[in-house]
Chains A and B, each alone.
Chain A
Amino acid sequence: GAGVSQSPRYKVAKRGQDVALRCDPISGHVSLFWYQQALGQGPEFLTYFQNEAQLDKSGLPSDRFFAERPEGSVSTLKIQRTQQEDSAVYLCATKGRVDYEQYFGPGTRLTVT
């Protein structure tokens, strides 16, 4: 079946603009994770949903970052007033209820100029 998809794949934003990044999970996957991966670094946990409930948002770096998953399927990560330090690849991963493994999407590369 289809894997995790993310859109857009690439986004260039001017400093101060708002951006919205989308994640389409594997059908039926209840857990959804967002990560930020800066160049040369490992993925850093941002936030985690189980169905529509956001169970942990402790990794969001500032109140400019906001994530939602209103119907327990598609999720959107929104970054307001983007800064240069927000430039990174944003990865989404999803997991089935009984799975241990998470499945990654291809990521969205955000460049803030």
Chain B
Amino acid sequence: GENVEQHPSTLSVQEGDSAVIKCTYSDSASNYFPWYKQELGKRPQLIIDIRSNVGEKKDQRIAVTLNKTAKHFSLHITETQPEDSAVYFCAARRNQFYFGTGTSLTVIP
């Protein structure tokens, strides 16, 4: 099956700085790559996604890039705010979804 690796596992940034989280995947047939934000005790919430026919997608302060050749994709959050503090998961999907191990992001006011 698919293997998704995610780095870093923890990330602390000052408010207003940027945060970058990186994931790699193993199955070249994976065609959809969502990113989720999960707050403590809550369900994962989709924040942005990208399909395999697109290299980059942006939604306000959040962007995702995909390099199909290298089989990696990244989440970029600019102008971070304290409310961005949460655990972020990447995932890759061919038929079913496989998740990374998560990044705990702390934004320091």
Q: How many interface residues does chain A have, given as a range?
A: 20 to 34
B72: interface (CB < 8 Å): no
Which residues in A have their C-beta under 8 angstroms from that of B1? Answer: 45, 58
B43: interface (CB < 8 Å): yes
Which of B12-20, B63-71, B75-83, B98-106 interfaces with chain A?
B98-106
Q: Are B96 and A106 in contact (CB under 8 A)?
A: no
Q: Are B49 and A42 in contact (CB under 8 A)?
A: no
Which of A16-24, A60-68, A69-77, A96-104 interfaces with chain B?
A96-104
Interface size on B, residues (CB 8 A): 21
Q: Are A48 and B95 in contact (CB under 8 A)?
A: yes
Which residues in B have their C-beta under 8 angstroms from that of A40? Answer: 102
Type the 1/0 row for B1-38, where 1 means its CB is closer than 8 Å to any CB of A. Answer: 10000100000000000000000000000001010000
Which residues in A have their C-beta under 8 angstroms from that of B97? Answer: 33, 43, 45, 93, 102
Type the 1/0 row for A39-56, where 1 means its CB is closer than 8 Å to any CB of B. Answer: 011111100100000011
**Top 8 A-B pairs ranked by shortest CB distance?**
A42-B99, A104-B43, A48-B96, A42-B102, A43-B99, A100-B32, A42-B89, A42-B101
Residues of A within 8 A of B (CB): 33, 35, 40-45, 48, 55-56, 58, 91, 93, 100-102, 104-107
Residues of B within 8 A of A (CB): 1, 6, 32, 34, 42-46, 49, 51, 89, 93, 95-102
